[in-house]
A and B are shown apart, each in its own frame.
Chain A
């Protein structure tokens, strides 16, 4: 039989790496399986200024330090893998990767995190990188003296719209509702900015261009009227989705597909815990993910003690 780990962690964002640090430091034979980039959404954050005890740093630096800490304690990390099957019931839990490899452990911590939500409309894939972007810090300067659309109405959308006015001549925020979900200070700052205007109660319906993005179709929802707008670029900030598609029918999820856990990060399956942005909770910060990961690892250690 293949090696059976004490703890198998799925995901290497802040929650998964923290769980890896705690579990491996507790001398538990631990492996992290990660589908995307190490650090998860931490690396999406250009600057982390409010992580206690750490002066302003880059998200990728924090992620890289956490990865090193986990590895130094003996945690194994396999990234860029894709899991297509979970068997989590019973004392030995197994996952199978799309390449056929299987990994087994006595306990599992699910920390898949989330990913930026996309619009899933025609042309979105085609113009990614040639007019459509999901990162103002990365790509803003390509749109110097250009006209932009920002899609979304939360904090990220309005804050990034303000950031993009450093480059663009005009930024139009398109939002599906008649009000914003962002904090009041973010709304005020965006409304005060003379380069920003707003199209409310509207959604994008398609992207068009010739080699690069040139125009978008926008539907005004109350009237169902669709208009076309010339634009050089579109930045999309419409929230995050939990990476739990492959967990449907495996663990208990809520109606938002978030994993249901109790205060000790226990799921409905004995020996299976969850942590970070994929669980049911309100606040999603690096600090809350670290807290979840800590609790999940300690709970897993406690579970293993009771099983031995």
Chain B
């Protein structure tokens, strides 16, 4: 069941996430809620979907039990702010951020890690 009201495609299961990550070279997933720290990140992703066809952009509901794979990821172990945003390259998590991120911060990560 989808829990987020955003135009960014929502991943609903850990299995779906695994499949996406394994089938795509560059993947960005924003794991959050419909809150003030998360919505701006979804907005940026929505725009970047058109500009960066080499990256697949997804959202995932933080409160879904299926999102434990992101919540409990080693890179997110010290995180205490929504959303948890994770970046995958060739099936591996290469970067993770906590709390709100600007378009500039996101594009810098995309350039550096998923370029």
Contact = CB atoms under 8 A, between A and B. Distances in A.
Interface of A: 36-39, 43-46, 58-61, 64, 79-80, 128-135, 137-139, 142-143, 211-212, 233
A60 B33 CA distance: 11
B110 to A, nearest CB: 14
Nearest to B107: A80
B81 A142 contact: yes
A130 B81 contact: yes
B80 interface: yes
Nearest to B106: A80
B78 A212 contact: yes
14 contacts: A36-B40, A46-B35, A60-B34, A80-B44, A128-B81, A129-B79, A129-B81, A129-B97, A129-B98, A130-B98, A135-B35, A138-B37, A138-B38, A139-B82
B36 A43 contact: yes
A129 B43 CA distance: 19
Nearest to A130: B78
A132 B99 CA distance: 10
Nearest to A61: B5
Interface of B: 5, 33-40, 43-44, 47, 78-82, 97-99, 103
Interface centre among B33, B36, B99 (most CB of A within 10 A): B36
Contacts of B80: 129-131, 133, 139, 142-143, 212, 233
User: For the complex, would chain B's binding face be called helix, strand, loop or mixed by DSSP majority?
Assistant: loop
Contacts of A61: 5
A133 B81 contact: yes
B43 A58 contact: no
Interface centre among A45, A132, A133, A211 (most CB of B within 10 A): A133
Contacts of A58: 34
Contacts, number: 73
Given A80-B43, A129-B79, A129-B99, 11 more contacts: A43-B39, A58-B34, A80-B44, A80-B47, A129-B98, A130-B78, A130-B81, A135-B36, A139-B81, A142-B79, A211-B78
Interface centre among A37, A59, A137 (most CB of B within 10 A): A37
Contacts of A137: 35-36
Interface centre among B37, B81, B98, B103 (most CB of A within 10 A): B81
Contacts of A212: 78, 80
B5 A64 contact: yes
A233 B80 CA distance: 9
Nearest to B97: A129
A135 B82 CA distance: 9
Given A79-B47, A80-B103, A133-B99, A60 B79 contact: no
A130 B103 contact: no
A134 B97 CA distance: 16
B82 A138 contact: yes
Contacts of B33: 138
A39 B39 contact: yes
Contacts of A133: 80-81, 99
Nearest to A64: B5
A133 B33 CA distance: 16
List the 10 shortest-distance A-B pairs measured between CB atoms, nearest first. A129-B99, A129-B98, A129-B81, A37-B40, A142-B80, A44-B36, A80-B103, A138-B35, A212-B78, A138-B37
A16 to B, nearest CB: 15
Contacts of A64: 5
A143 B97 CA distance: 18
Contacts of B47: 79-80
A80 B42 CA distance: 12
Contacts of A80: 43-44, 47, 103
A133 B100 CA distance: 10
A60 B39 contact: yes
A79 B39 CA distance: 13
A37 B39 contact: yes
Contacts of B97: 129
